[in-house]
Structure 1
């Protein structure tokens, strides 16, 4: 490899035609220090191999669709600079704990089913004001800081060893988002939400490995949300 090229070592697998997975290497021009991993993948797809499959959309670290395992860590390909990896080879694998549909493209259905299970929408539980708007104070809104910025990229899901062992485990994404609604003054389904996580596949199965916190591209704290939910469950138990 010359100084103006970079090697990509990419996981390949097509269930329709391949008996087993393999890695395929590509060499691409590396003439810009701000070249991202996603731009490298797009270059490969357009100029080297148009059969390569991967997800991407916004290219601005907002949609979360380009999450993948890059050089030992789950990251967003769109905001991962190749120059910051300090390597001559970029090794890419798909998200874990989900079936591979093709190459870096995985079946996200189980992930979205868990998101649906937690009822990710406000449930006021009381009549809305006549004008249809519920006002929050500054202090009430501040409780949602660090909870509302999840982009559903599934990095936490894939890094969690418990989701690998228990397919029905709700996982860190679910707990962070339930904490978001439990902490919201406009929501009236606190007991219902806590009942969801106070279960066999809820917060008590977490082993506090902190992988989810480490890989979150938005620097959120799913482990902290799990701890908060445990505290709320215990408080209710004491009160009863």
Structure 2
């Protein structure tokens, strides 16, 4: 049975601030790279296998860390920073982490979250997800699945709002990613007990560049999403 924390964090109704982030979809749509559901499916597939895998692996590792007296949050935080080269991506991750933290501390008060906040008051979203799932008794695989799902469901929802896509077709595109999502979760869970420097580090240069461009355009134009 999935932990309640994993289900709650993956729920679009969770007040974690994810609704203001498009995961790169807004910039991609503005550049004509996403115009319909097939384009969106390809975008989500690439995002899942790169930034999604990184986030899932660190969420899984955070579950393991949450069970240790010396969690090593500073090292995990630094390693995730190193795998997120674009400042805009780092800011988006920390903004979501801080927003989710406010709700999480009310629902799952724990010294684990206190220790994480002592390292940084703006934790990366993946670390916050993993810490909460661990507090709730969930497994590394559950945290990885939650983060991997959020890596595609949030951008998919943004695409519906931005492009007026058929939500039923978009939902089907997410379901079609099941084999890839399962593979990402398995890889992330397997890596959970590794030292932080050995966690997966696939790159997504185009996403990084579009994230930086989005920040620039956001200052000059009215944009619906922060990232």
TM-score bracket for this pair, using the shorter chain length: under 0.3
Q: Please identify which structure carries the higher strand content.
A: 1
Scaled by the length of structure 1, the TM-score of the pair is 0.22
Q: Please identify which structure carries the higher helix content.
A: 2
| Bigger Rg, structure 1 or 2 | 1
Larger RCO (CA within 8 A; separation ≥ 6): 2
